[in-house]
A = this chain, B = another copy of it.
């Protein structure tokens, strides 16, 4: 297959786009207008109504196909194992949110109840997510700091510090739910495409660093006030290292033991994945042991270890969110809403592809929005999904959200009946469990060299997002990362490598002239390739490159010619007063109203009216007239890679083309997208100088046309090789 010796033979007319259009007429297609789309969108019939209900309540869809015998057992087993993890994670992640541990159990219960009916994913485990918990925690510690008075919010009166914090957390969650619901209703779920893999990787790595730092105080048994805002991570580390000598040795030893055990057993789980029916639930085992030991040896009293303490037993009545907190935290709730949805959606997508069903981004937004609003009313905090928990739910046999419901029931049982068993658990154990689970996220640092080798720009996005999020905090860091990422798209099109093309001898192919030896470049013709879209940020760059490629500045040539002409006319006039002066006077002064926005007015084309003979600028001129010689008669622009043009680019292009046309260089545009030509027509690009006849379908068509047109130009100073390509 490598070398094909089959013949390529084409024989047809040379086409310009115009003549091609004459020979092959275009089919007239009626395009839908925006109005049509709106009408279509608003049309309602029974089928559409039914579909709308089905898409709003996805549970109907999967309940109808539920295979009780095959799926139920798997769902139950999976629900129980996921439930154990959800309880552990709920307790641990509530520490990240700076809340009492029992509220983590609420988060494992309430949001699931509504997601069960509304969610399109059958495999994700809805509940707390460490990054989200940390982001909520940042708001909580900002409004209700450990030291100093809380923010000036009327709703705080008469509440304990923990109650104030729960109020803040649930209000932020409520607001986040409103944002998600609104985005879902407005059908803007697509915005998650802007969170590229690279950005998400950098962001979650930064989150892991934040989580690590925030858990250090538990592991070391120190009391460090939560700090939020830019550079908070540095201040927190400073506070920790200042009091590092007061480390609680009991906490530290226990944490290190637990981390080591969990780490080792997890590695073993990985290695013997195939042989174990279910992975060893080492975290649950360690928690139970730690609870027992702590209770038996009375760690709290004897070693001054901070324990989970009094759990709220049962549920509290629902609570309205606080509007003042909304005002204070609106800027932070929006990134929380985006991150929460983006994570859940990307995890859900992986499993939907694996199990071959469709998920709907907008419906997911609605589901998470309502779940968070519902959960927040019952004091749970921001819910999304955790990758690790979802992996367990799916791998232990979960087929539908029945598994999720069962895991929620497990959380309920602990809240209602078994909470007291967890009371002696040291907080350092929870911290240790959080830290040991960061391994995967922190491993993402390995992407730096990987990206650096492959794509420096992408590496920049990763580093920008990660450093931004570490130093400025997660919300600002996300904004910085997004900014950098969008800039890279602009940047990639902004400084592309332009090239001058030449014909490859004996073919109809054109390549970069610097790359090949056997090339054919007829004199007086330049082929310039524009390898990217043209827009406001690179049009000047292209004009500079074009001037560089042709070797002269057409505007300057035009001016010199006009100046020379005035001189010659004057000389002629001295000889012969018959020739009217009008032509020469208005030559440079007259200006056209190009456009009222267009400040750079072009010089006029050389005016040869009322001039007794044809001017040949490349012939010998009188010695007192100095005009640069132009050995170019045709400029061919390869537009095949120009995927869009904006108004600035169009103005700049028009000016550039006119400059060349006015010094008698024919300009051809080749392989231009049909939509771009349409747009040029719409924007009045064409006039009496810029004609539609300059478009050609291929480079070779344009070249053949040029060679034909200039075949007897040799007398003009251009030497053309008389050759058939």
**Which A residues have a C-beta under 8 Å from some C-beta of B?**
1-16, 18-20, 22, 24-27, 29, 193-194, 196-198, 201, 350, 353-354, 356, 446-447, 450-451, 453-455, 457-458, 483, 485-490, 492-494, 496-497, 504, 506-509, 511-512, 514-518, 531-533, 535-538, 540-541, 555-556, 559, 596-597, 599-600, 640-644, 646-648, 651, 671, 673-675, 679, 682-683, 693, 697-698, 700-701, 704-705, 708, 724-725
State the Cβ distance, A485 to closest chain B Cβ, in Å. Answer: 8
- Nearest Cβ distance between residue A369 and chain B, in whole angstroms? 23
Checking B193, B508, B559 against A12 with a beta-carbon cut-off of 8 angstroms, the contacting residue is: B508
Question: Are A10 and B13 in contact, CB atoms less than 8 angstroms apart?
Answer: no
| Residue pair B644, A197 in contact (C-beta under 8 Å) | no
Partner among B3, B13, B20, B516 whose Cβ is within 8 Å of the Cβ of A19 = B3
Contact between chains at A496 and B643 (CB < 8 Å): yes
- Residue pair B493, A533 in contact (C-beta under 8 Å): yes
User: B20 and A509: CB pair below 8 A?
Assistant: yes
- Known A-B contacts A518-B24, A704-B8; A683 and B454 likewise in contact (beta carbons under 8 Å): yes
Query: How far is it, in angstroms, between the C-alpha of A701 and the C-alpha of B6 when the chains are bound?
Result: 10
- Chain B nearest Cβ from A516, distance in angstroms: 6
Most buried by B among A10, A201, A597: A10
A354 to B87, CA, bound (A): 74
Task: Say whether, besides A3-B19, A646-B455, A536 and B641 are in contact (CB < 8 Å).
Answer: no
Given contacts A7-B14, A455-B679, A532-B644, list 14 more A-B pairs with CB under 8 A: A4-B13, A8-B12, A8-B13, A197-B651, A198-B648, A450-B597, A455-B646, A458-B646, A488-B646, A493-B533, A496-B644, A640-B641, A641-B641, A643-B643
Given contacts A531-B673, A641-B641, A641-B673, contact A6 B13 (CB under 8 A): yes
Complex interface: chain B residues within 8 A of A704 (CB): 6, 8
Contacts of A508 in B (CB 8 A): 10, 12
| Copies of the polypeptide in the assembly | 2
Alpha-carbon distance A201/B647, docked complex (angstroms):
13
13 example contacts (A-B, Cβ-Cβ < 8 A) are as follows A3-B18, A7-B14, A8-B14, A10-B11, A29-B515, A193-B536, A447-B597, A454-B683, A483-B483, A490-B490, A493-B533, A532-B533, A533-B533
- Please state if B10 and A8 are interface contacts (CB–CB under 8 Å): yes
Return the 5 tightest CB-CB contacts between A and B, nearest first: A196-B536, A532-B643, A6-B14, A640-B640, A8-B14
User: Are A512 and B674 touching (Cβ within 8 A)?
Assistant: yes
Min C-beta distance of A684 to chain B, whole Å: 8
Q: Which residue of B lies closest to A443 (CB)?
A: B596
Name the one of B19, B518, B700 contacting A2, with C-beta atoms under 8 angstroms. B19
A415 to chain B, nearest CB (A): 33
**Judging by beta carbons under 8 Å apart, are B4 and A514 in contact?**
no
- Given A7-B14, A8-B701, A353-B600, the answer on whether A682 and B454 have CB atoms closer than 8 Å is yes
Cβ distance A37 to chain B, nearest Cβ, rounded Å: 13
Whether the pair B705, A24 counts as a contact (CB closer than 8 A) is no
A350 contacts across to B, CB distance below 8 A: 599-600
Report which of B6, B27, B497, B651 forms a contact with A705, defined as CB distance below 8 A.
B6
From B24, B537, B559, A193 is in contact (CB under 8 Å) with B537
A377–B531 Cα distance when bound, in Å, is 48
Known contacts A490-B489, A532-B533, A537-B193; A507/B647 CB under 8 A: no
Report whether over half of chain A's contact residues are helix, strand or loop; otherwise say mixed. Answer: mixed
Q: Taking A514-B29, A533-B533, A648-B197 as contacts, is the C-beta distance between A15 and B8 under 8 angstroms?
A: yes
Chain B residues with CB under 8 Å of A353's CB are 555, 600
CA A697 to CA B356, docked complex, whole Å? 37
Are A11 and B13 touching (Cβ within 8 A)? no
A497 in complex: contacting residue of B11, B507, B517, B675, CB < 8 Å: B675
- Of all chain B residues, the one with the shortest Cβ separation from A707 is B6
Residues in chain B near residue A198, CB distance under 8 A: 536, 647-648
Residues of B within 8 A of A725 (CB): 10
A189 to chain B, nearest CB (A): 12
Question: What is the bound-complex CA distance between A509 and B497, given in angstroms?
Answer: 27
| Partner among B13, B26, B533 whose Cβ is within 8 Å of the Cβ of A515 | B26
Q: Are B493 and A644 in contact (CB under 8 A)?
A: yes
CA distance A599 to B29 in the complex (A): 42
Q: How far is the CA of A4 from the CA of B706 in the complex (A)?
A: 11
What chain B residues lie within 8 Å of A6 (beta carbons)? 13-14, 704-705, 708
Given the known interface contacts A4-B16, A5-B13, A600-B353, the answer about A24 and B487 at a Cβ–Cβ threshold of 8 Å is no
Rounded to whole Å, the gap between the CB of A347 and the closest CB of chain B is 9
**With A12-B508, A641-B641, A647-B454 as given contacts, are A489 and B4 in contact (CB-CB < 8 Å)?**
no
Among the listed B496, B507, B515, B675, which residue makes an inter-chain contact with A10, where contact means beta carbons less than 8 Å apart? Answer: B507
- Whether B496 lies near A490 (C-beta < 8 A) is no
Q: Which of B24, B201, B458, B675 contacts A516 (CB 8 A)?
A: B24
Q: Which of A194, A488, A490, A700 has the most CB of B within 10 A?
A: A490
* Residues of chain B with a CB closer than 8 A to A647's CB: 197-198, 451, 454-455, 458
Is the pair B3, A11 in contact by a Cβ cutoff of 8 Å?
Answer: no
Closest to A509 in B: B697
Instruction: With both chains docked as a complex, state the minimum distance between the C-beta of A502 and any C-beta of chain B, in angstroms.
Output: 12
Q: Bound state CA distance, A643 and B599, in angstroms?
A: 32
Contacts of A535 in B (CB 8 A): 196, 489, 492
Q: How far is the CA of A613 from the CA of B608 in the complex (A)?
A: 81
Q: Which residues of B contact A536 (CB under 8 A)?
A: 193-194, 196-198, 485
Residues of chain B lying within 8 A (CB to CB) of residue A27? 514-517
CA A701 to CA B515, docked complex, whole Å: 21
Most buried by B among A453, A541, A643, A693: A643
Chain B neighbourhood of A679, CB < 8 A: 455
Whether the pair B490, A12 counts as a contact (CB closer than 8 A) is no
